[in-house]
């Protein structure tokens, strides 16, 4: 999917200029600091920014060129906001039907039954929307957006208004939406853990421009700007569960480059899982040490290292087999270890998170 957007917005003055080439399905995360233009981009795509000084083309189809604009109701997309924005006087079924009726019968590719089953809201259909929990409201809002049979789904921090428990409730539904629906999703979030769990692709936005974009695993493993995550810097990769040690409540996962032990989350042997390792949880040794508490000791190759934002710290890029990895050290430690590109070392991993 291609998106070309160029807008000059007067209030407040802001210029948006992005060229995106995105996967045709799955979740693309728009990531960046507050005010970088992420939500503005979604609003321009949806036609919610009133400006005559703009251009927008989606998959080569022009939706705006100056004052000529495709009306909002004719844009083949769904939009999920931070707040569910359901009609409080209607029950869930009527809210869903409102979305369905936006689309002519011959253009409907997603049935109400599909949307209801995917979001697990069948038992809520007769309930008024103002009698739902926050997580239930968001699930209904997503189902209503799906009922419009969108060619593109926009999600603007859909979990930001929820507490931790409600976020954990809704995340599996978003994963199912990502995996089962052939609809590209643009997902705005400030939360690195959300992005690590959900996204396949990432676009880093800064000052109205897409400064980098690519597969999530590749972009997160870079040590050069513009993606600076501080304590949240780390890598995401996939592996397969090959063993569950019931006595220790641990699971062994094999990936392209080695294997790691993680806390057993109940995933069946043979299943693919997504893992996240933060740079702060990786230390480096020049030789193997088995007399340490860390179970995960992996041979690695130094690729590069750069200074972090704090002058005392360095971020080291490693490769474990075919899998990139990051480690955060003090600059003194990097100097003492005499780290240079190509050097063989051992990565000692304190914690591995199972994120999906």
pLDDT tens for each residue of the chain, 356 residues long: 999 999 999 878 899 999 999 999 999 999 998 999 999 999 999 999 988 899 999 999 999 999 899 999 899 999 999 988 999 989 999 999 987 887 777 778 888 899 999 999 999 999 999 899 999 999 999 999 999 999 999 999 999 989 999 999 999 999 999 999 999 999 999 888 999 999 999 999 999 999 999 999 999 998 876 667 778 899 999 999 999 999 999 999 999 989 999 999 899 999 999 999 999 999 999 999 988 888 899 999 999 988 887 889 999 999 999 999 999 999 999 999 999 999 999 999 998 988 87
The per-residue pLDDT for 328 is 94
Distance of CA 211 to the CA centre of its chain: 17
Fold of 234-354: OB fold (Dihydrolipoamide Acetyltransferase, E2P) (2.40.50)
Sorted by where each begins, the domain ranges of the chain are 2-225, 234-354
Which class in CATH covers the domain with range 2-225? alpha beta
The per-residue pLDDT for 334 is 94
The per-residue pLDDT for 309 is 79
The per-residue pLDDT for 307 is 86
The per-residue pLDDT for 226 is 61
DSSP 161-192: TS-HHHHHHHHHHHHHHHHH---EEEEE-S-H
Q: What is the tally of helices (H) and strands (E) in the chain?
A: 8, 21
Of 45, 1, 43, the residue nearest 22 (C-alpha): 1
Cα Rg of the chain (Å, integer): 23
Q: How many CB atoms lie under 10 A from the CB of residue 26?
A: 20
Strand partners, 214: 202
| Strands of the 323-330 sheet, one edge to the other | 282-285, 344-349, 296-307, 313-320, 323-330
pTM equals 0.90
């Amino acid at each position: 999917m291609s998106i070309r957007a160029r807008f000059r917005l007067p209030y407040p003055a802001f210029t948006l200029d992005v060229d995106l080439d995105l996967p045709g399905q799955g979740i693309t995360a728009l990531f960046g600091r507050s005010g970088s233009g992420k939500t503005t981009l979604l609003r321009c795509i949806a036609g919610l920014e009133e400006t005559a000084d703009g251009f927008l083309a989606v998959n080569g189809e022009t939706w705006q060129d100056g004052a000529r604009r495709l009306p909002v109701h004719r844009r083949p997309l769904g939009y999920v906001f931070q707040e569910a924005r359901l009609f409080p006087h209607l029950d869930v079924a009527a809210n869903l039907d409102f979305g369905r009726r936006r689309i002519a019968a011959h253009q409907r590719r997603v049935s109400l039954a599909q949307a209801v089953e995917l979001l697990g809201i069948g038992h809520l259909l007769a309930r008024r929307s103002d009698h739902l929990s926050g997580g239930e409201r968001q699930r209904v809002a997503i189902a209503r957006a799906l009922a419009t049979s969108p060619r593109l789904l926009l999600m603007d921090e859909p979990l930001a208004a929820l507490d931790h428990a409600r976020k954990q409730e809704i995340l599996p539904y978003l994963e199912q939406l990502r995996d089962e629906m052939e609809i590209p999703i643009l997902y705005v979030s400030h939360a690195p853990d959300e992005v690590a769990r959900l996204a396949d692709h990432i676009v880093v936005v800064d000052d109205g421009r897409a400064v980098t974009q690519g597969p999530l695993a590749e972009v997160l493993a870079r040590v050069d700007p513009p993606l600076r995550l501080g304590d949240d810097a780390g890598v995401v990769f996939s592996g397969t569960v090959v063993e569950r040690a019931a006595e220790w409540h641990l699971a062994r996962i094999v990936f392209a480059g080695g294997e790691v032990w993680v806390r057993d989350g109940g995933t069946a042997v043979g299943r693919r899982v997504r893992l996240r390792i933060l740079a702060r949880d990786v230390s480096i040794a020049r030789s193997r040490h088995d007399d340490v508490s860390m179970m995960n000791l992996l041979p690695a190759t130094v690729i590069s290292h750069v200074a972090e934002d704090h002058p005392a710290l360095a971020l080291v890029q490693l490769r474990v087999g075919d899998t990139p990895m990051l480690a955060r050290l003090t600059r003194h430690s990097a100097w003492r270890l005499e780290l240079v590109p190509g050097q063989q070392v051992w990565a000692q991993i304190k914690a591995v998170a199972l994120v999906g």
